[in-house]
């Protein structure tokens, strides 16, 4: 059973033509050569070669990619953390209800995650409860930071407390954060910025004490954890010798908290993926594609197959662990 935990959709209900007065809505179109483009927030995005909106076409691509169950989540550009919290909640609600409808229509092929107005931790907590208990979705997708506030900040503790009580899954996806002039060149905001953001968010979760305080959380960090698995030894050394690092809200070395996290397979390197499996264990790595983006995988299973792992480890990565975490009946 192949379950892809990392796939995005723009529900038709969120498109600009539904209500052109809403500035947050994107327009999805095809150019003269038939290439899909997304017009959003004053720029045109051309990095989505696969279908982004229409579920029947998405399901066809899913089948071609040998994916049995696709876990749909919102496009992170539509998290709308920059809007007033209540307005953001309305945009999240629209997308969450649309994704829930799509999943209900295709229960054997799809699962779904919702979005929350994370700029208001209490409001986000209530929306998370609605997502899981009322809509029946399988978890929540959030960004690595909320307008510069990272995930270990005390302001977000009410959200984490509710997530722990709900016993639901969290998928953390990079958002713009780490910057500088160079980041605006050569697509480095994506190539370097995204994995750096994920690493920084993971450090915040660890040093901020979220993982220590809520040890039952089920959190998956996108893109193989970004830089974090490869610098974890440096964090341990700093925790050992640097006084400021010892002021963190943790009682043991940072590396021990990696065992409480999960990571998708999107590393773009078989050697890096093999290292990730060795560091955190096959049962903490989840199949992902980053559909429909060009920086994702067309056939995510192929990256697992080429590792030559024992069958039980491959099965864990391909879907067994995801099914357990998201409470998907297979």
Q: Is the pLDDT of residue 168 over 80?
A: yes
The model carries a pTM of 0.95
Quick: pLDDT tens for 234-252. Answer: 999 999 888 888 777 888 9
Which pLDDT score is estimated for 177? Answer: 86
Q: Is the pLDDT of residue 75 over 90?
A: yes
CA–CA separation, 60 vs 191, rounded Å? 29
Q: Does domain 3-326 have CATH number 3.40.50.10860?
A: no
Which pLDDT score is estimated for 127? Answer: 97
Q: Is the pLDDT of residue 187 over 90?
A: no
In this prediction, residues 262-286 reach a mean pLDDT of: 97
HSE value, Cβ hemisphere, 13 Å, CA-based, for 287: 30
Give 48's pLDDT tier (boundaries 50, 70, 90). Answer: confident
Give 254's pLDDT tier (boundaries 50, 70, 90). Answer: very high
């Amino acid at each position: 059973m192949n379950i892809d935990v990392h796939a995005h959709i723009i529900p038709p209900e969120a498109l600009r033509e539904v209500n052109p007065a809403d500035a947050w809505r994107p327009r999805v179109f095809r150019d003269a050569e038939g290439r899909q483009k997304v017009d959003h927030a004053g720029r045109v995005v051309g990095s989505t070669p696969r279908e982004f909106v229409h579920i029947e076409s998405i399901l066809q691509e899913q089948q071609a990619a040998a994916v049995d169950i696709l876990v749909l989540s919102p496009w992170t550009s539509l998290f709308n953390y920059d809007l007033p919290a209540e307005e953001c909640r309305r945009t999240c609600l629209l997308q969450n209800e649309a994704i829930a409808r799509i999943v209900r229509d295709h229960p054997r092929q799809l699962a779904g995650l919702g979005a929350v107005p994370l700029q208001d931790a209490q409001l986000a907590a209530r929306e998370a409860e609605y997502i899981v208990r009322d809509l029946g979705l399988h978890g929540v997708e959030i960004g690595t930071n909320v307008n510069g506030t990272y995930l270990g900040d005390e302001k977000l503790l009410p959200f984490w407390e509710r997530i722990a009580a709900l016993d639901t899954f969290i998928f953390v996806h990079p958002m713009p954060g780490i910057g500088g002039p160079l980041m605006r060149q050569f697509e480095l905001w994506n190539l370097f910025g995204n994995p750096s953001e994920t690493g920084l968010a993971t450090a915040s979760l660890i040093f901020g004490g979220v993982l220590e305080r809520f040890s039952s959380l089920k959190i998956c960090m996108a893109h193989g954890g970004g830089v974090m698995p490869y610098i974890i030894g440096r964090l341990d050394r700093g925790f050992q010798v640097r006084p400021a690092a010892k002021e963190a809200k943790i009682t043991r070395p940072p590396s021990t908290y990696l065992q409480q996290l999960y990571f998708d397979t999107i590393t773009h390197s078989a050697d890096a993926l093999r290292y990730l499996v060795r560091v955190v264990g096959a049962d903490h790595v989840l199949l992902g594609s980053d559909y429909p983006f060009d920086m994702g995988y067309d056939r995510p299973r192929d990256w697992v197959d080429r590792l030559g792992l024992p069958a039980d480890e491959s099965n864990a990565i391909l879907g067994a662990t995801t099914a357990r975490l998201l409470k998907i009946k297979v």
